């Protein structure tokens, strides 16, 4: 059964931190080599934020979060984390976890079409 459940969202002031978690079913985690995070703010298109593939061998970040966000995974718990530091009001969005496969020869890597499975999302609100 494919299942992705996000948690950890909330409200924080600018400059603060949050850590998002995405708990995947064992089936999902074992059959999808890449796990990613996307976000969508009201009135804006969905944006790829970060992804991790093959046990951390490949990681990807959007330019907007590079240096502030990190992505990691706990294979024993089938869970992926997004650590968000130095948050800005423009980081406010619904954050979605996704599972899929990023081809190594295609760019950009953070494309929604590479991810077949999606969670319900968790809201992140950053106030100034």
Q: Return the percentage of the chain with pLDDT > 90, whole number.
A: 88
Find tokens 């599972």 and name the residue: 99
Residue 56 predicted with pLDDT over 80: no
Q: Kindly state the average pLDDT of the residues 31-55.
A: 94
pLDDT digits (tens, 9 = 90+) for 61-111: 999 999 999 999 999 999 999 999 999 999 999 999 999 999 988 888 999
Least confident of 21-25, 27-31, 85-89: 27-31
CB 118 within 8 A of CB 4: yes
Q: Return the bridge partners of 83, or none.
A: 19, 70
């Amino acid at each position: 059964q494919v299942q992705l459940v996000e948690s950890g969202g909330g409200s924080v002031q600018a400059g603060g931190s949050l850590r998002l978690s995405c708990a995947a079913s064992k089936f999902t985690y074992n059959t999808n080599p890449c796990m990613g995070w996307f976000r969508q703010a009201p009135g804006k298109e969905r944006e790829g934020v970060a992804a991790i593939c093959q046990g951390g061998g490949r990681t990807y970040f959007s330019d907007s979060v590079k240096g502030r966000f990190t992505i990691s995974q706990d294979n024993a718990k089938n869970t992926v984390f997004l650590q968000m530091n130095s948050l800005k009001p423009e980081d406010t969005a619904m954050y979605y976890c996704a599972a899929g496969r990023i081809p190594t020869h295609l760019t950009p890597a953070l494309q929604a079409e590479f991810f077949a499975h999606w969670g319900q999302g968790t809201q992140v609100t950053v106030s100034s």
